[in-house]
Amino acid sequence: MSQNTLKVNELNEDAEYDENGVEVFDEKVLVEEEPSDNDIAEEELLSQGATQRVLDATQLYLGEIGYSPLLTAEEEVYFARRALRGDIASRRRMIESNLRLVVKIARRYSNRGLALLDLIEEGNLGLIRAVEKFDPERGFRFSTYATWWIRQTIERAIMNQTRTIRLPIHIVKELNVYLRTARELSHKLDHEPSAEEIAEQLDKPVDDVSRMLRLNERITSVDTPLGGDSEKALLDILADEKDNGPEDTTQDDDMKQSIVKWLFELNAKQREVLARRFGLLGYEAATLEDVGREIGLTRERVRQIQVEGLRRLREILQTQGLNIEALFRE
């Protein structure tokens, strides 16, 4: 007889049986025991380990992309032209050299419902789209163009998260119609559609469309705790938006140069009104009344010129896959 058989027999000798020969179990033995302090500590360690693995993965990714050299303006034009002709290696170089731009933008959307790696993943999709659409002959830097696409893909992903404020069912249904139309137009037009374009497609008033789209914006309390060992809330660490770092300043300068170039494609009156209204070309941003007073026109006439100028600018930017609402906000 084998040793295994002996062990089984020894176990069976301690078992109790009823009159039918069925083994009887002690119910007290079968009752699930309360977790001990050691069990709880082990679960906490496992949870901390999972969090640490996420952090390790993030650090690993950031370390890997740090080895990708940035491109000069001349290199951007060279590789972009080759990428447009279907050169896979040039396309890859354009993407890899701008992965750090995605991380920089993704960090701005932290604490909005998505983990940093998820934000980066969404932003990378926008970067790929930007590489596919970028035309180096337009005269501005790729980072300026890619920033818009990266922001759009990240913001769209965040909007798909659960809502903070519960909306009535009839409002949700109406909002879904607008959002579905926006998605269809984005594929058709190759850019994020404006409220005016959605309104025209649905034959709805622009104000109604704008009001509904604002309901889709995600809300985060500034008192939201950050978690971890810190007792700080989101409000305690919010950066001053007016305090731009050197990278932001450079990027903003590139964008301003592009905007100035586009403004000079308008007529003189449209250019002056938009410059005064939005604080461009050395002017301070001003109201319709103030602009009218400065150039000797009524408030209504200034508004009409502004509408005409923005409409013309929208046409110019649409040819480059950009959205005017991302650049001009009152």
Residue 175 · residue 289 · CB < 8 Å: no
Task: Return the pLDDT at 251.
Answer: 54
Helices (H), the chain: 3-13, 27-30, 37-65, 73-84, 88-96, 99-107, 116-133, 142-159, 169-189, 195-202, 206-214, 234-237, 246-263, 268-278, 288-295, 299-318
Task: Return the pLDDT at 53.
Answer: 55
Last residue within a domain, chosen from 147, 162, 177 = 162
Looking at per-residue confidence, does 282 or 53 come out higher? 282
Q: Would you say residue 232 lies in a domain?
A: no
SS3 of residue 210 by DSSP: helix
Q: Would you say residue 319 lies in a domain?
A: yes
pLDDT digits (tens, 9 = 90+) for 181-219: 888 888 788 777 888 999 999 999 989 888 888 877 655
| Residues 6+ away with beta carbon under 8 Å from 35 | 43
Q: Would you say residue 292 lies in a domain?
A: yes
State whether the Cα torsion 100-104-105-107 is positive or negative: positive
Q: How far is CA 101 from CA 76, 126, 235, 264, in A?
A: 14, 11, 25, 29
- Position 16 pLDDT exceeds 70: no
Q: Does the predicted TM-score (pTM) go above 0.75?
A: no
Last residue within a domain, chosen from 67, 86, 118 = 67
- Position 29 pLDDT exceeds 90: no
Cβ count near 313 (within 10 Å): 21
| Strands 16-17 vs 23-24: parallel, antiparallel or unpaired | antiparallel
Q: Would you say residue 245 lies in a domain?
A: no
Rounded to an integer, what distance in angstroms lies between the CA atom of residue 313 and that of residue 323?
10
- Position 36 pLDDT exceeds 50: yes
Structural domain span for residue 33: 1-67
Task: Return the pLDDT at 325.
Answer: 58
pLDDT digits (tens, 9 = 90+) for 64-111: 777 778 888 889 899 999 998 999 999 999 999 999 999 999 988 887
pLDDT digits (tens, 9 = 90+) for 136-145: 888 778 888 8
Are 145 and 207 found together in one domain?
A: no
Q: Would you say residue 230 lies in a domain?
A: no
Task: Return the pLDDT at 18.
Answer: 47
